[in-house]
Amino acid sequence: MTSHRFDIARQGYVSLLDGRSTPHRSDTAAMVGARRRVHESGLFDPVFRAVADAAWPVPGSDLESNRPPMVLDAGAGTGHYLAATLAGSDELWGIGLDLSKFCARAIARGHPRAAAVVADVWRPLPIRTASVGAVLSVFSPRNIDEFARVLHPGGVLVVVTPNADHLGEIVGPMDMLGIADDKDRRLRSALGDRFEVIGEHPVAHRRELDAAGIGDLVSMGPSAFHRTADEIASAAAAMTEISGPCGVTVSVTVTVCRPTTGDHRRVSR
């Protein structure tokens, strides 16, 4: 058996990328900075609470060895959702996994019981079979087969998806990517026979945002790959120049799923 060693970066994360190319783009430092400012503003606090509530109680990840309950945030971004979930209990530990090293740095700083890993969610996850009590997938890619493999039999998968009116006031004026009309159907199709939906919880509220806040909302997501920072700032300033701060709606659905009965998991790694 070959032994592998992975160094911990001085910023506190481990990179498990193997050098193979990927078609997926990872978040930049500027995107991570914008997301941190948005999350620290409290705009998504109701969603943080809904995700933490949906993940709780987290079952023990390995009852025989008495390991503590574990939460995996796959595509964790800055780690704010993972941190909110870990805050529910001093016994919880977490792993935040993201393709971006800048996200991993933020995750490592975000909570003392969160480990940060750079890895591709679309590839086999570097997680033991049946070893986590909850998997979070918040506005991120969903590797359903791997989620089913790593989850404890009594665990939960928590998925957050945007509703049609999410950020609806600024999508057009800011030339943002829209919400797919068939997102609900695609989620159900992806879950297939691996998971059953046990709850759906809509979360919605509205907040007045100034130009800087609107700019950060655009800059933290995939729309930032298609426009320069100056273009985003200019468009945000134009939105608020006459009427002042703009009301923006945060509207998502938190879907809670459990693994279906039967042995669908792959062989342990």
Binding residues for Zn(2+): 4
Contact of 97 with 108, CB cutoff 8 Å: no
Two structure tokens written together for 86 = 């870990």
What is the C-alpha separation between 206 and 249, in angstroms, rounded? 4
Contact of 47 with 252, CB cutoff 8 Å: yes
- Residue 215 CA from chain centroid, whole number: 20
Strands 246-259 and 151-162: antiparallel
Radius of gyration of the chain (CA): 19
Which residues are annotated binding-site positions for S-adenosyl-L-methionine?
44, 78-79, 166
* E strands present in the chain: 13-15, 70-74, 93-98, 114-118, 132-138, 151-162, 195-209, 246-259
Count helices and strands (H / E) in the chain: 9, 8
Contact of 77 with 136, CB cutoff 8 Å: no
What is the C-alpha separation between 62 and 44, in angstroms, rounded? 32
What is the C-alpha separation between 76 and 97, in angstroms, rounded? 6
Which residues are annotated binding-site positions?
4, 44, 78-79, 166
